[in-house]
Amino acid sequence: MPKQILIADDSESIREILAFNLKNAGYEVLVAKDGLDAMQFLDGRSIDLVLTDYHMPNLSGLELIVKVRQIEKYKFIPILVLTTEKQVEIIREARDSGATGWLLKPFSTDKLLQTLRKIIR
Amino acid sequence: MNSFVEKFKVEVSEYFERLESRLLQLEQDPEDLQIIGDIFRIMHTMKGSGGMFGFDLLSDVTHDLESLFEIFRSKEKIVDSEVISFTLNSIDGLKQLMVENPTDENRLLASKLKSDTLLQITRFSQTDLNSEIGILPGNSAENSIEAKQTTYYISFVPDENILNNGTNPLYLIDELNALGECNIQVSFDRLPPLAEIDPLKCYISWYLFISTSESVDTLQDVFIFVANSALITIQKVANENVIHKEAVLAAFLNAQINEEPWTLLESNLQESAESNEVDRVEEKEIAGVLLKSSTEVSKNTGFTQTTVDSIRVDSGKIDLYMNLVSEFITAQSRLEQISSNLKNPELELVTETFEKLNRQLRDNAFDMSLIPIESLTTRLKRLVHDLSKSLDKEVVLVTEGLEAELDKNIIEKLIEPLLHIVRNSMDHGIESKSERLLKQKNAIGTISVKAYTVGSYVQIEIEDDGNGLNVDQIREKAIASGLISNQENLTDAEVCQLIFEPGFSTSESVNSLSGRGTGMDVVRNCVQSMRGFIELVSERDQFTRFIIKLPLSLSIIDGLLVQIGDSFYIIPSSLVSKLYLIKSELLKKEINQVVELDGVQIPYLNLHEEFDGDKRVPEEQFVVVVFYGNHFFGLAVDEVIREYQAAIKPLGRMPKSQNLFSGASILGSGQLALVIDTNKLIQKYS
Amino acid sequence: MVAKIIDGLNSYLTFRLGSELFAVNVGLVTKILELTKITKVPNSPKYFKGIINLFGDVMPVFDGRLKFGFQESENTRETCILIFAFEFDGYTYNSGITVDSVEKVLIFEPELIMPAPISDKGYNPEFINGMATFNNESVIFLNIEKIFSEEEIKLITTVE
């Protein structure tokens, strides 16, 4: 069964290019326009990975992670944070919130897929 | 792929706009950290996204701009107006860099923008700059020995709670395995007694030798996500593949246990990568920004001002939706007609419900296609900002009620006229500082833009507190250029409107007065083409105020359905002032066609005669009084049927001479009603 | 939508104005209507008859006789409105023209269509794609786009 990935990003173009590339790579993709929107998908369906932007309206990436981790079913699913922040603080903050890892924008499709392989199979 | 790029471009133009608007706000309030934070984040987003879509130049330049704003975000220095102007100009530059295949010229511009930004950065950080550049050298020494095999020892002791972050440690070991030849030991040392085992915790540790041609950075990269939730050491064992040399491996392990330095190799090559390794890598990258970065990033600082739940819909789809609603309205009036003929109570009930729903649907469709006038203010503010500098006038732009909404098509068409009016006010309206002081006015001029919704139209007023119009000069000029004769007894208010006449401004060389009217005929044409009207009120040395009245939408209007002979016409309600029913004999054709209504002499046009010739004349006729410029004009019709919600259809390709009608609406009977362009009509006949 | 004239589709609709027989490629004709109610548009030139409601769209209708420079005449039972689709300035427009009668659809191979002779009848070659003969009668092939892109035109200098 293909792995299902939930993308949360407030930039439509980023969302679409991610979804496009992930679908091409054989993943199934769910798309949300912010953290709050993403929460709707966490309704018990099976999700293998969450890719979330760091800055988002309504529910930021980190807030989303905290919420996801509170749901029993998704307690252990991998979550990657997309950010351009190169500061350690952000990464540390993300990790403290429960993120599995991060991706620094800009990244190539190869880098994305390579990073995914690091955390899901 | 291209559709992403297109969408991205749209997004970027929104970012630009938001940046401009925030920068202008920042100029008012240079220490507002929220604004600075916003600016920083927008740049940040552009930098990151730009790279993803191949707009590397954009990415590059915003990267530096971001660094510049980092200085202000970290409260090291305070923004000054030079930075604001600089950044605004850089944004103009960035707009030119939004090309998919940059030319040398683009690249040149980018590097100029970058070096200019660097200059700005230097301006704010003279002292500590030099010391920070020094950390740039990369790790080329390490990279150069990649080709040959090296053996490392890695110990990976995950935190018990590592699983909480969604990490699967096994994948990391797999990844190492893929990088080279491994000799892996798994340790269960930390495993508690069975009864105490928490299945959600990780008690296992891994110790392994790996022989690889990859660099130590690559090995560290494997653990990049878990560096803080695991104890990781990477040590070099040998500069060759010793994975099968058990003795060497054992000797290495022995030295570890006895805490002796591992001496088989040159100790300077020993790599110890603890969790701070990641931090080191990060710092290296930050050094590239030439700045010490601030570490403050608050958690909840998304673009909170845009928290409205919204989706982006292609404007073509909205247009289609509006069209369908128009069709629906036409179909509904047909239904009404049939229902009133059949007099079937049930049908009438359904028709009524249909009508109500239809109205809601229309309002809803309106809502969707309407956008706040506010979306124009950034452009206006930018203009005021730029012109203030170049004209050396200090002017504030005050806005009020700009949340009022208009059809996006109207807003688009409105941009140029509004800019033109504001430019005019800046150029010719607002006096120089010294002149203002002489007049005992506030040295700072004010331009105010106000809007409010009245029924199905919006009124926009643009006012400056400058020198007002010189009525006498305008009158002279109008007479000189033959616009009016010197016999004509125009009131001052009427004289002011003359600047909208096409002949007014072009007849004389440009001076401060003629400048005032330049292009105003274009402005009026534009407003009239949207079934709106514009007028001007001015008080010498006090103010000049432009008043623009526009319908909410171009495709559906509230109109007055009137009948002349056996034809129907629609007059836009937004232009109608009053209705009078009078005896037809009062509308006798005289030389100066005026009719007295409520004691006021009003010029009129008997449409019965103009449109229908001399067929039977009704005994009584309605006079529809409409706004024309800033005075009234009467249109005599045979019958006023009712208020009518008209879906307007374009007329197609008409003969050139025909411009009295701006469209037609299909009535319930299937008959057509022409929509009268009252401005053109009155112009033509008076 | 302008139906593209497909190569090899040599079908032409023929119609009459006065005594002349005209032809246009069927691809350009979107509808043939019986004369319906035409809403007059005040203050228009005589050759512009007004507008009609064609299935919810508003369409201008021109008087074929007057637009082409013939004498005005009464409508008969045979009078029809031909709706043409044509492109102008990059936009597609639909406009109608009243004609005295619609004849039939004829097929003319391209080689049968001759360039218009500048002869006794004085056809204005600008508006004409060519001529042919059918049943001993001249058929005039019209350049519809050109005709609609101009205002009142003088198709024939000497009429009837």
| Those residues with Cβ within 8 angstroms of residue B237's Cβ, 6 or more apart along the chain or in another chain | B151, B152, B153, B209, B248, B249, B252, B262, B264, B265
Give the distance from CA B9 to its chain's centroid.
12
Out of A57, A87, A117, name the one closest to residue B302 (CB).
A57
Which domain, by its residues, includes B478?
372-551
**Considering the domain boundaries, does residue B307 fall inside one?**
no
Indicate whether B94 belongs to any domain: yes
Can you name the residues that pair with B370 across neighbouring β-strands? B407
The number of beta carbons lying within 10 Å of the beta carbon of residue B66 is 24
User: In sequence order, what are the residues at sequence separation of 6 or more whose Cβ sits closer than 8 angstroms to the Cβ of residue B511?
Assistant: none
Q: Is residue B562 part of a domain?
A: yes
Do B665 and B571 fall within a single domain? yes
Chain C residues whose CB is inside 8 A of the B638 CB are none
Enumerate the residues of chain B whose CB falls inside 8 A of the CB of residue A58.
302, 307, 309
Touch test A–B: 3 Cβ pairs or more under 8 Å: yes
Q: Which residues of C touch B659 (CB under 8 A)?
A: none
ipTM entry: 0.85
Q: Distance from A90 to chain B by nearest Cα, in Å? A: 7
Confidence of residue B142 (pLDDT cuts 50, 70, 90): very low
Q: B166 and A13 in contact by Cβ < 8 A?
A: no
The CATH number of the domain holding residue B200 is 3.30.70.1110
SS3 percent helix, strand, coil of chain C, rounded to 5, is 10, 45, 40
pLDDT value at position B511?
A: 42
**Whether A106 contacts chain B with CB within 8 A:** yes
Return the number of CB contacts < 8 Å for B and C. Answer: 68
Q: Quote the distance between the C-alpha of residue C94 and its chain's center.
A: 12
Residues B205 and B180 in one domain: yes
Q: For B22-79, how does the pLDDT look when each residue is reduced to its tens digit (9 = 90+)?
A: 999 898 888 888 898 889 888 888 888 887 788 888 888 988 898 888 888 887 788 8
- How close, in Å, is residue A21 to chain B by CA atoms? 10
CA distance B372 to B386: 24
How do residues B71-103 score in pLDDT, each as one tens digit?
888 877 888 888 898 999 999 999 888 888 888
Do B265 and B146 share a structural domain?
Answer: yes
Bridge partner residues of B495 (DSSP): none
Q: Are residues B492 and B610 in the same domain?
A: no
Domain that holds residue A76: 4-119
pLDDT reading at B373 higher than 90: no
Per-residue pLDDT tens digits for C25-59: 888 888 888 888 899 999 888 888 999 988 778 89
Q: What is the mean pLDDT of chain B?
A: 79
Q: According to the model, what pLDDT value does residue B272 have?
A: 40
Residue B311: inside a domain: no
Using CB atoms, pick whichever of C42, C47, C58 lies closest to residue B672: C58
Domain presence at residue B114: yes
The total of other beta-carbon atoms located within 10 Å of residue B533's CB is 22
Q: What domain count does chain A have?
A: 1
Domains detected in chain C: 15-149 (2.40.50.180)
| Predicted pLDDT at B143 | 41
For residue B294, pLDDT over 50 is answered with no
Which of C44, C49, C53, C146 to substitute to test the interface with B, most B CBs within 10 Å? C53
Are C41 and B330 inside 8 Å of each other by CB? no
Q: CA B200 from chain center: how many Å?
A: 49
Which range scores top for mean pLDDT: B451-460, B482-491, C140-149? C140-149
**Residue among B650, B656, B660 whose CB faces C58 most closely:** B650
In chain A, whose CA is at the least distance from the CA of B5? A13
Cβ-based burial of A42 (10 A; exposed 0-12, middle 13-18, buried ≥19): buried
pLDDT band at C121, cuts 50/70/90?
low
In this structure, are B149 and B132 located in the same domain?
Answer: no
CATH number at residue A85: 3.40.50.2300
Interface test with C, best of B569, B651, B653, B654 (most C CBs within 10 A): B653
In a domain, B298, yes or no: no
B595 CB-near residues (< 8 Å, 6+ apart)? B582, B586, B587, B601, B602, B604, B623, B634, B636
* Nearest partner of C137 among C23, C28, C33, judged by Cα: C23
Question: What is residue B573's DSSP assignment?
Answer: G
Domain of B113, CATH number, reads 1.20.120.160
Neighbours of chain B (3+ CB pairs under 8 A): A, C
* CA distances (Å), origin A98, targets A6, B159, B200: 16, 14, 15
Cβ contacts of residue B293 below 8 Å, gap of 6+?
A: A86, A87, B70, B74, B286
> Residue B296 falls within a domain, yes or no?
no
- Of B478, B475, B535, B485, the closest CA to residue B502 belongs to B478
A66 Cβ under 8 Å from any chain B Cβ = no
Instruction: Clarify whether residues B380 and B489 are in a common domain.
Output: yes
DSSP string for B456-511: TEEEEEEEE-S----HHHHHHHHHHTTSS-TT----HHHHHHGGGSHHHHHTS---
Q: CATH code at B599?
A: 2.40.50.180
Q: Do A86 and B5 touch (CB under 8 A)?
A: no
Contact B51 A105 (CB under 8 A): yes
Contact call for B674 and C94, based on CB within 8 A: no
Share of chain B above pLDDT 70, in %: 84
Q: pLDDT band at C118, cuts 50/70/90?
A: low
CB contact under 8 A, B44 and A12: no
Given a cut of 60, whether residue B135 has pLDDT beyond it is: no
pLDDT at res. B619: 86
B256 and B181 belong to one structural domain: yes
> Is C36 part of the contact surface with chain B (CB cutoff 8 Å)?
no
Which chain B residues are within 8 Å of C51, Cβ to Cβ? 651-652, 664, 672, 674
Please answer yes or no on whether B299 and A95 come within 8 Å at the CB atom.
no
Determine the pLDDT at residue B147: 52
CA C12, chain centre distance (Å): 12
pLDDT in tens, B460-512: 999 999 988 888 888 888 888 777 877 777 888 888 888 888 767 643 434 44
Is B313 inside any structural domain?
A: no
Which CATH number characterizes residue B406's domain?
A: 3.30.565.10
Look at B671 and C44 and tell me if their CB atoms are within 8 Å: no
B50/B102 same-domain check: yes
**Do B562 and B499 fall into the same domain?**
no
Say if the Cβ atoms of B299 and A78 lie within 8 Å: no
Q: Any chain B CB within 8 A of the CB of A7?
A: no
Record: contact B3-A16, CB cut-off 8 A = yes
Strands (E), A68-109: 79-83, 101-104
Per CB-CB distance under 8 Å, the chain B contacts of A17 are 1, 4, 52-53
Instruction: Collapse the DSSP code of B188 into the 3-class scheme (helix H, G, I; strand E, B; otherwise coil) and give the result.
Output: coil
Q: For the segment A49-60, what is each residue's pLDDT rounded down to a tens digit?
A: 999 988 888 888
B33-52 helix and B56-73 helix, angle to the nearest 10 degrees: 160
- Asked if A118's CB is within 8 angstroms of B222's CB, the reply is yes
- Average the pLDDT over B591-599 and give the result: 79
Q: Which two tokens stand for residue B563?
A: 């009948």
What are the chain C neighbours of B684 within 8 Å (beta carbons)?
Answer: 43
- Whether residues B650 and B671 fall in one domain: yes
Q: How many domains does chain B have?
A: 5
| Residue B293 pLDDT > 80 | no
Angle (CA) B56-B62-B63 rounded to 5° is 85
With touching defined as 3 or more inter-chain CB pairs under 8 Å, the answer for chains A and C is: no
Residues of C in contact with B652 (CB under 8 A): 51, 58-60, 93-95
Q: Are residues B444 and B494 in the same domain?
A: yes
> Is residue A85 over pLDDT 70?
no
DSSP conformational letter for B1 = -
The answer to whether residues B151 and B240 touch, using CB atoms and an 8 Å cutoff, is yes
A46 touches chain B (CB under 8 A): no
Neighbours of B311 (CB within 10 A): 6
Long-range residue pairs from B479-482, CB within 8 A, at least 24 positions apart, any chain: B480/B507, B480/B508, B481/B507, B481/B508
User: Between B610, B612, B664, which is nearest C51 by CB?
Assistant: B664
User: Does pLDDT of B315 surpass 80?
Assistant: no
Residues B196 and B88 in one domain: no
Flag whether pLDDT at B514 surpasses 50.
no
DSSP string, B264-289: SS-GGG-----THHHHHHHHHHHHTT
Distances (CA, A) of C72 to A63, B584, C23, C45, C75: 80, 35, 21, 13, 9
